[in-house]
Structure 1
Amino acid sequence: MNKAFCFIAACIALVTVSCKKQSFLDAVAVTDLNEATVFADSARTMDFLANIYNGVDFSFSSRRFSDGGARTGMAAATDEAEGPVNLSDNTYLQFVNGTVNPSTIKDDVYKTCYQYVRAVNQLVAHIDTAKFSVSQRSRVKGEAIFLRGWYYFLLLKHYGGVPIVGDTIYQRNQPISTKRATFEQTVNYIVSQCDQAKALLSRQYNSLDFGRVTTGACQGLKSRVLLYAASPLYNDDGSIPGQTPVDMMAGENKALVGYYPKPSSDQAKARWRLALAAADSVMKMGYALNTTEGTDAPPGAGFYRTFTNKLSNELIFFRTVVGQSIEEDWSPPTRRGIANMQGTYPYQQMVDAFPMINGKDITDPTSGYKASDPYVNRDPRLNYTVIHNLTPKALYVGSGFSLQPVQIYFSSPTLDRIGLGTSTGYYTNKMLRDSTDANYLFSYGERAYPLIRYAEILLNWAEAKNEADGPSADVLQKLKDIRERAGIIAGSDGNYGLKPNMTQQEMRAAIQHERRIELAFEEHRFWDVRRWKIAPQTESKLMSGMQVQQQANGTYTYQLFSVRQHTFNPKTYLWAFPQHEISKPGGLVQNPGY
C-alpha cells in the first residue's frame, strides 16, 4: 500500500478551484500545500473531499483497460461485448479465456481503493477541528464515511474478504496489516459505514451541492452489498448447484471468500430478507423510474433520458460527466469513435437477449420476429443500447447537424463497416446522446454515469423477495413496471410479455434476464453471473457477431459469424490479489485457484 502515501500527497496538494466550476465534483488544480494548511481551511478541505469522489467510477469506466488509442471496460470481460483486438492492458481478455493470474492481473482495484480509504481516514481524523458549521461538518463526515464504504464494496466484489484498516492512518515506515477479514466481517463493515453515513446526511441538497452523497446512496449501497452477500456464490445452502470459492479454498481460510460454515436453508433465506428490507427502504425514499410525459415521446424515451439527463429522479448515486468521452469510447469512427476495432463491440447474444416490443422472446414463434429484418419492432431498449446497421446517429459536417444512418454493412464505403470499425457488426449505444457527435466540439452536454439507480433497486427487491418467499404478484409487478417504462406493449393480459404464474425457478430466470438487458453496459453483468453461479454456462460459449450484406436492390441480408470462444475458469469467480501484494511481508492470503 505504499503508493497510498504518494496519493495522499497529491490530495493534500489540492487547492485552486477552476473559475468555471460546474459542480461539487469538478476537478481542481494542484499547488504545494501541506496537511496542516489543507485542513485548516474549509474550502481546501472540501477540495480534498472532492478528490476522494474522483475514483468512485474507475471500475465502471469504459476506459478501465486502456493502452494508447485502444480502451474498453468490464463489458469486454463478459458475454456483453468483444474488446479491442490488440491491447496490452488485457485483464479483461484473461478473464474471457480463463488464463488470468496474479502476475498479470490489473492491480487498479487494490491500489486505488486503499489509496482512497487512506484519504478518507485523513479527512475523518481532521474533521472535528475543520472550520465548518455543525451541519456542514456532519455532512462532510457522512460523505467521507460513505465513500469509504463504497471503496470497500469495490474491494469486496473483486476479492471477497479484504484487510480492513478502520480509521488507522499508517505512516510510511509503519508495518501495514494485510490480514484479511472474513467475507462476513467485510460485509458487516460496509453495512456499518452505510448506517453511520446515513445518520449524518440528508435525502437531497440544493443545486450548488448537486452530485453529493445522500441518504439514498447509503441505502442503495446497503441494498446492493446485502444482495450480493445473500447470493448463492457466497451464501451457499446447496439449493443452487455448482462449485463456489468456499469449496475451492483450503481449511481455515474458507470464511475469507463466503459464509462458512455453509448456511442452512433458513439462514440463507434470512440473508435474502436483509437484502429485501434494504431495497424496500430505498423504495420508500421518493425515487422513481424516469418516464417521459407526452404523446410525442418515442417508446422508451424515459429509459434513454435516464442517462442523458443528470437531473433524473431515478439516479441515486452517480458521477456527473461533462464532455464527449463516452462518445469517443463507444461511437462509430465516423462520429470520432475508436477506429480499427479497438473499442467495445456488443455480441450478437447481447442483441438477441432483447425481446420484441410485445415483450416476447425472439425465439417465441408468436413473437413476430423476422430474421430477415431483425431489428424491427424490438424492445426499444435495444436501440438505446446497441448501434446496428442503419441506426441513425448525429453527424456534423462543418457546423451542420443531421441524423444519418451508421453504415456497418460489409461493403460500406465508411470506416464504420464490419471488419474495419467493429469486430461484431455492432457498436455500443448505452448512455450516448443521439444529438452528440464527438467530431463537433460543441455537441455535448452533461450526463450522469449511473452507479446506483432506481431500476436496479426494483430488481434487487424482486430478486430478494423471490428468493426469500417465492414468486408473487408484487415481484411480477416490479418487472412489469420496468418493462412499461422501457416502452414494451402491455398486451391483452397486461403482463408485458412475461409469463403469468411463474414458479420460483422461472421467476428467477426472468429477473436475471431483465437485469441483463435493463442494466447492460453498467458494470453489473460480470458480477451478476458470478454471484448467481451461472458463469460456467454464460461465460463458456462461442460468441457471435452479425455480418450484414447490401444487395444490388438495396435490401440487406444477415449472416451470423463466430467471434471468440469464451472459456470460464472457476478460479475467476474472484479476482487474484496482485502478486506484488502477496509477496510483501504480512501474509496476505491469495484467493483459491491462483
Structure 2
Amino acid sequence: MNKAYCFIAACLLIGAVSCKKQSFLDAVVITDLNEQTVFADSARTMDFLANIYNGVDFSFSSRRFNANDSRTGMSAACDEAEGPANLSDNTYLQFVNGTVDPSTIKDDVYKTSYQYVRAVNQLLRHVDTAKFSQSQRNRVKGEAIFLRGWYYFLLLKHYGGVPIVGDTLYERNQPISTKRATFEQTVNYIVSQCDQAKQLLSREYGQLDFGRVTVGACQALKARVLLYAASPLFNDDGTIPGNNTPVDLMAGDNKALVGYYPKPTHEQAKERWRLAMTAADSVMKMKMYSLNTGTTPGAGFYQTFTNKLSRELIFWRTVSGQQVEEDWSPPTRRGLPNMQGTYPYQELVDAFPMKNGKAITETGSGYDPANPYANRDPRLNYTVCRNLTRKALYVGSALTIAPVLIYFSSPTIDRVGLGTSTGYYVNKMLRDSTDANNLFSYGERAYPLIRYAEVLLNYAEAKNEVDGPGTQVLEQLKEIRKRAGIDVGDGNYGLKPNMNKEEMRAAIQHERRIELAFEEHRFWDVRRWKIAPQTENKLMSGMQAQLQADGTNTYQRFSVRQHTFNPKTYLWAFPQHEISKPGGLVQNPGY
C-alpha cells in the first residue's frame, strides 16, 4: 500500500470533525496531507497528537455498544444496570448471559487500540525532526508515550497479555506478526511507558491545556496497572478461594499469557501489592490533587463531573454538548425513549448506605421500605434518578424544575415499563440545570478516566493487602465518605470499627462500587477480585412505584434479568478473525 495513502487513511480513522478549535484536545481532520507535510509543521504535528487522544474514552463511553437509536456501555455488562430492550450490538448481553462468542463479540478494543498505537509510532518516528523547541519536543514525546501505554492498558484489562509491537510501524492493513507477550511482560511494558513519559512531562498546564497528560496521570495509570496486576485474578497465591481463573483454565505452556505463572508464593504476591501501594502513594504525595468538596452534602461529588477544572481530575476526556443527557436522561428530558438506554438495577440502589453510613440492612440504620430513598447517602441522588427525582424540564425556552414521574400508572413516557426497564435512570454526571434538548445551559464536561477518589481507594486496597487494616487504610475511606456527606457519627462515618483484613477488604470493595458507579470500574473490579461468580450469578431487580389514591407512592421490587457468570468471561475473547489469520493469536481459555 502507498505510504502516503496509509498515512491519510490513518488520519481519517483517528480524526473527527470539530466546528472550531478551542483547545489542544479539539479534534482536527487531516484529509489531504502526506506524512512529510504534517510532521514538517509543528502546528499540524500537534493536531496529529491531539487526534490520538480521541480514543482514550471509547471503553468508558456510554455509547460503546450501539445500534440505531439504542446505546449503552460497560455498566450493562455487569451488575450495575440493565441495557437496551433490543440492541443488535449485543456484546454486553453475551457477558450477562455467559455466552460470549469470538465470532460476534465486539472487536473495537483490539482494532482501535492498535490503530492508535500505530499513530503514536508514526508520531515518534518523526518528532525529532519536527520544528519544536526541546521542551516542546519532550512534551510531545511524553504525551505520546503515555497514550501508547494507555491503549495497551485497555488491551491488557480485556485480554491479558497481548502482542507488543514496540516502535514497529505496521502498514494499516498489515497483520501484526508479533506473538502475544506474557501477562507479566505486558504489565511491565505499560509501567515502562508510564515511567518514560513522566520524565518528559510537567506536573500541570494552563487552562487551555487541561486534559493533557501530566506527571500525575503517568503515576496514577501506573498505580492502576499495578493494582490490577496484584489482584487475585492474575496474582493468585490461593488467598482468595476459587480455581477457575484464566491461569487455571489455560492449557499447557500458555498459562503465563493470562496471569503470573508459575503461581506466586504469598510473599511474591504481597510484593506486587506493595508496588501498587507505593505507586498510588506517590500520587498522593504530589499534593497536586484533592477531593472536590461543596457547601452542601454531596455537592462536591456532583460538581466533580460537571466542572472540568476540578482538582480531583487526573486524566479525563473533555466532552462538549449533551451526550450524557441524551444517553441517560429520562425521555421527558429528551433522553432515550422506549427502554433504549442504560437503567440502574435495584441492587446498586440498595448498596448505597443511609446518611448515617449504615447499610440499609444494618440494625439501627433507620431504613424505611415504605420510604426507601429518605435519609440515604447523598451520592445516591447524584447517581440514580428515581421516582419523583426533581430535574430540569424545558418547555420551549422556559425552565421548570419538576419531578420525574416513573410510577406505574404515570401519564408520562418516563414510566416504568415504558421509559425504563428497572424503574430508574442514570443520574451520574448529569447537570441539574439542563436536559438533552437545551442548547443554552450546557458546556464542556469531563469524563473522569482517572480521578483522585480512585487513587485513594487504590491505595487503601493495596495497603490493606500489605499491612492490614491500619489507620492509613481507614482514613482514605473516611475522607471519601466525609466528602459524600455521610454523617461523622462516632468519627468513622458509619464504618465498622476495628475491622480485620477481610472485613476491610469487603468495605473497600463496597465503597468502590458506589463511589465509582458508572465510571467503567465495576465490570473489571468484580473480575480481578474473583467475586464475579457471586455478583454475576443473580436474578437482578427493579423497583415499581405505584401512586395511591391519597397521593403517596408504594414500592415493590420486581425481577428484571437473570445474570449467569461463565468463568471464561473473566477475560474477553480475541475476535475470531484475528485467531484465524496465519500464525494467529493464542485464544483466551474457554473460547
Across the aligned residues of Structure 1 and Structure 2, the Cα RMSD in angstroms comes to 1.8
1:246 aligns with 2:247: yes
Larger mean CA deviation between 25-34 and 308-317 belongs to 25-34
How far did residue 442 of structure 1 move? 1.6
Change (3 A) 1:505 1:586: same
Q: What SS does the corresponding residue of 1:260 show, helix, strand or coil?
A: coil
1:498 aligns with 2:499: no
How far did residue 325 of structure 1 move? 0.4
How far did residue 259 of structure 1 move? 0.1
Match of 2:418 among 417, 420, 435: 420
How far did residue 174 of structure 1 move? 5.8
Per-residue displacement from partner, 1:176-218 (whole Å, max 9, x unpaired)? 3140000000000000000000000001011222211000000
Q: Tell me which residue corresponds to 1:387.
A: 385
Q: Tell me which residue corresponds to 2:272.
A: 271
How far did residue 473 of structure 1 move? 1.1
Q: Tell me which residue corresponds to 2:346.
A: 348
Q: Partners of 1:211 and 1:202 in 2: how far apart?
A: 13
Q: Tell me which residue corresponds to 2:67.
A: 67
Q: Partners of 1:196 and 1:126 in 2: how far apart?
A: 18
Change (3 A) 1:261 1:326: same
1:576 aligns with 2:573: yes
How far did residue 386 of structure 1 move? 0.1
Q: Tell me which residue corresponds to 1:558.
A: 555
Q: What SS does the corresponding residue of 1:54 show, helix, strand or coil?
A: helix
How far did residue 399 of structure 1 move? 1.3
1:482 aligns with 2:475: no
Q: Partners of 1:215 and 1:225 in 2: how far apart?
A: 16
Q: Partners of 2:276 and 2:385 in 1: how far apart?
A: 35
Per-residue displacement from partner, 1:390-427 (whole Å, max 9, x unpaired)? 00111111211121100000011110000000000000
Q: Tell me which residue corresponds to 1:531.
A: 528
How far did residue 292 of structure 1 move? 3.5
How far did residue 519 of structure 1 move? 0.2
Q: Partners of 1:381 and 1:573 in 2: how far apart?
A: 29
Q: Tell me which residue corresponds to 2:83.
A: 83
Q: Tell me which residue corresponds to 1:33.
A: 33
Q: What SS does the corresponding residue of 1:239 show, helix, strand or coil?
A: coil
Q: Tell me which residue corresponds to 1:544.
A: 541
How far did residue 172 of structure 1 move? 5.7
Q: Give me the identity figure in percent.
A: 82
Q: What SS does the corresponding residue of 1:120 show, helix, strand or coil?
A: helix
How far did residue 533 of structure 1 move? 0.1
How far did residue 173 of structure 1 move? 7.8
Unaligned runs of 5+ in 1: none
**Structure 2 letter corresponding to 1:577:** F
Q: Partners of 2:65 and 2:27 in 1: how far apart?
A: 22
Q: Contact (CA 8 Å) 1:357, 1:377: kept in 2 or not?
A: yes
Q: Tell me which residue corresponds to 1:468.
A: 466
How far did residue 29 of structure 1 move? 3.3
Q: Partners of 2:72 and 2:17 in 1: how far apart?
A: 30
Normalising by structure 1, report the TM-score: 0.97
Q: Tell me which residue corresponds to 1:437.
A: 435
Q: Contact (CA 8 Å) 1:13, 1:33: kept in 2 or not?
A: no
Q: Partners of 2:15 and 2:245 in 1: how far apart?
A: 47
Q: Contact (CA 8 Å) 1:320, 1:447: kept in 2 or not?
A: yes
1:364 aligns with 2:368: no
Q: Partners of 1:592 and 1:525 in 2: how far apart?
A: 22
How far did residue 14 of structure 1 move? 8.8
Q: Partners of 1:106 and 1:62 in 2: how far apart?
A: 15
Q: Contact (CA 8 Å) 2:10, 2:172: kept in 1 or not?
A: no
Number of residue pairs aligned between Structure 1 and Structure 2: 589
Q: Tell me which residue corresponds to 1:100.
A: 100
Q: Partners of 1:440 and 1:206 in 2: how far apart?
A: 30
How far did residue 25 of structure 1 move? 1.0
Q: Contact (CA 8 Å) 1:16, 1:31: kept in 2 or not?
A: no
Change (3 A) 1:262 1:100: same
Change (3 A) 1:355 1:6: farther
Q: Where in structure 1 do 4 or more consecutive aligned residues deviate above 4 Å?
A: 4-8, 12-19, 172-175
Larger mean CA deviation between 54-63 and 43-52 belongs to 43-52
Match of 1:586 among 549, 569, 583: 583
Q: Partners of 2:16 and 2:234 in 1: how far apart?
A: 45
**Structure 1 letter corresponding to 2:436:** A
Per-residue displacement from partner, 1:432-477 (whole Å, max 9, x unpaired)? 0011111222221211000000000000000000011111011011
Change (3 A) 1:323 1:25: same
Change (3 A) 1:79 1:18: closer
